[in-house]
Structures are given as structure tokens and as C-alpha cells.
Amino acid sequence: MAEVAAVSMDAVAEFCLRLGDDRLILGHRLSEWCGHGPILEEDIALANVALDLLGQANRALELAAEAEARGRSADDLAFFRETVQFRNIQLVELPRGDFAFTIARQFFFDAFSVHLMDALQQSTHAGVAELAAKAVKEERYHIRHSAEWMVKLGDGTEESRARLQSAVNELWRFTGEMFQGDRWDEEAGAAGIAPEAAGPAALKSKWDEVVNDVFARATLTRPADEFFVRGGRGGLHTEHLGHLLAEMQIVARSHPGAKW
């Protein structure tokens, strides 16, 4: 445990906050499909994925709360922080759009998350390693589900293909944020919280492999890398996150401390 002790608890808290916020916000976006899925079976499938993500978020935010040691709980972090305090990438906060948009966004995230969780099983932080060991199984199913849909929609009808390609084009500039890396990533890497395989460079090459393979099978065109947004990790968000938080947080804020 000497390695862990050597790293500042800030780095652990920041790392877990990012893990948790990505999954909390994406899970919430997916849950918006509940009762609106294109077909009953897919409605249930999306809700299953949303619940997996909320479970991962819950554990990650518990770890963040422990690490920051300011007496806050996971619920406090989820429901009583403001927009600028959220550390998720902007990709996950965008409105759900049509089914093609939801699937494309999910696929981009899954292709990132499955390799991240796989690598984090070797984290020097016991809590993170444990979270990842459970999450990696969930992620392997998520990517199987979303990749299957990418191929079905892309190599489907003229309309499904057009909708998916347009979603891919629109989302592309939000995919860079998964691999940008900053001083917190460096600190997490140096401490072994995130082993090398969980670093931005390693994840990017694995993500490219998955994306290129699925794009080929889905007959999609990979957009050019021109401009990538950044800022979510530092609290800079689109206007959509505020609306999402208003809806997600209102019950907890209207009835603080209420029990189910």
C-alpha cells in the first residue's frame, strides 16, 4: 500500500469523481429512454445498461467521497454539486437524440470504457481494482450490444444508415475528450491508480481498433479528426448538463435527507 499512500488523496478523489460522473450522467441519459424504446425488448435492454452504469457510478462516487474525506456521501456528490463541479466528458451529457444518436454515443463510450475497466483491474488502489473487476463484465456486454446495433443500423436501410452516419459525424468532435489526458491523469498514472494500459495513449489505440473494425462492418465513414471539444474534466460543460441536473437533482434538493 506504500505506493497508494505516496499519492495525494486529491488524485484518488479526482480520478474516482471522473469515473463516477461519466457513468452517472450517461446512465441518466439512457434512463430517459425508459418507456420510449423503439421496441419493448430494447427498452428493457437500455434500462439494464443504465442500471449497470448507475451502479458503477455509485461505487466510484463512494470511493471519491472516502478519498476527499470531507464528510460527503456518494448521494451528496451526485445531488448537491453544481454544473461546474461535474467532471464528466461532454460526450455523455448531450441530449439523447434519436435512437441512432443514442447508440452511436453509447458505442463510442463502451469502446473506451471496456478497455479502461479491463486495465483498471490492475489498479494499485484496491477499491478501484474491485470496482473494475465487476464493471468489466458489464462493459463487455454493453459493447457487444451497442456494436451489434451499429452494424444493424449502419448496414441496414437507407434511412437507418443516414441517421447513424449523421449521428457519428455530429458526435465525433466529442470523442477526443476521452483521450486528452491532463496532470491528474499523469498523477494517477504515476501512482498506479491507473496502470499504463488505462492511460490515454493506450486506450486511444485500443479504441481506434474497435471503432475501425465496427465502422468497416457497419459500412460507416470515419470522420476526419479536425476539431475536438475539451473542458468537461475541468467543469466546462454544454448548456445541456444544467437541464439534466435540474431534473436529476430536484427530488433530493426539495426533500433533503428524505428516506425512500
Partner 1 sequence: MPDDPSGTASNGADTQWPLWEVFAQSAQGAPYQHAGSVHAVDAEGALQNARDVYSRRGEAIGIWVVPSQSITASKPEDTGPFFDPADDKVYRHPQFYKIPRGLKGL
Q: Are 81 and 20 within 8 A, CB to CB? A: no
Q: Are 145 and 201 within 8 A, CB to CB? A: no
Should residue 231 be labelled a site residue for partner 1 when binding is judged by CB under 8 A? no
Backbone angles phi, psi at 128, to 5 degrees: -65, -45
Should residue 44 be labelled a site residue for partner 1 when binding is judged by CB under 8 A? yes
**Pick from 38, 95, 231, 234: which binds partner 1 (CB under 8 A)?**
38
Should residue 152 be labelled a site residue for partner 1 when binding is judged by CB under 8 A? yes
- Sign of the four-CA dihedral 192, 194, 195, 199: negative
Residue in this structure with the C-alpha cell 423503439, named with its chain if needed:
38
Should residue 45 be labelled a site residue for partner 1 when binding is judged by CB under 8 A? yes
Stretch near partner 1 under the rule CB under 8 A, chosen from 102-110, 112-120, 142-150, 174-182: 142-150
Which residues contact residue 201 at a Cβ distance below 8 angstroms, ignoring those fewer than 6 apart? 179, 181
Helix, strand, coil percentages (3-state) for the chain, rounded to 5, are 75, 0, 25
Should residue 41 be labelled a site residue for partner 1 when binding is judged by CB under 8 A? yes
In whole angstroms, the minimum distance from the beta carbon of 48 to partner 1 comes to: 5
Should residue 163 be labelled a site residue for partner 1 when binding is judged by CB under 8 A? no
Should residue 173 be labelled a site residue for partner 1 when binding is judged by CB under 8 A? no
In whole angstroms, the minimum distance from the beta carbon of 229 to partner 1 comes to: 30
What is the per-residue burial (b if ≥16 Cβ within 10 Å, else e) of 183-211? ebbebbbebbbbbebbbeebbbebbeebb
**Pick from 32, 42, 68, 155: which binds partner 1 (CB under 8 A)?**
42
In whole angstroms, the minimum distance from the beta carbon of 41 to partner 1 comes to: 4
Which residues contact residue 218 at a Cβ distance below 8 angstroms, ignoring those fewer than 6 apart? 150, 151, 153, 154, 155, 164
Q: Which three cell numbers stand for residue 133?
A: 473487476
Should residue 174 be labelled a site residue for partner 1 when binding is judged by CB under 8 A? no
**Pick from 148, 155, 170, 186: which binds partner 1 (CB under 8 A)?**
148
Should residue 158 be labelled a site residue for partner 1 when binding is judged by CB under 8 A? no
* Nearest CB to partner 1, comparing residues 144 and 253: 144
Taking the CA of residue 224 as centre, how many other CA atoms within 13 Å lie in the half-sphere pointing to its CB? 2
Should residue 126 be labelled a site residue for partner 1 when binding is judged by CB under 8 A? no
Considering only residues 48-77, where is the footprint of partner 1 by CB under 8 A? 48
The footprint of partner 1 (CB under 8 A) covers: 38-42, 44-45, 48, 99, 141, 144-145, 148, 152
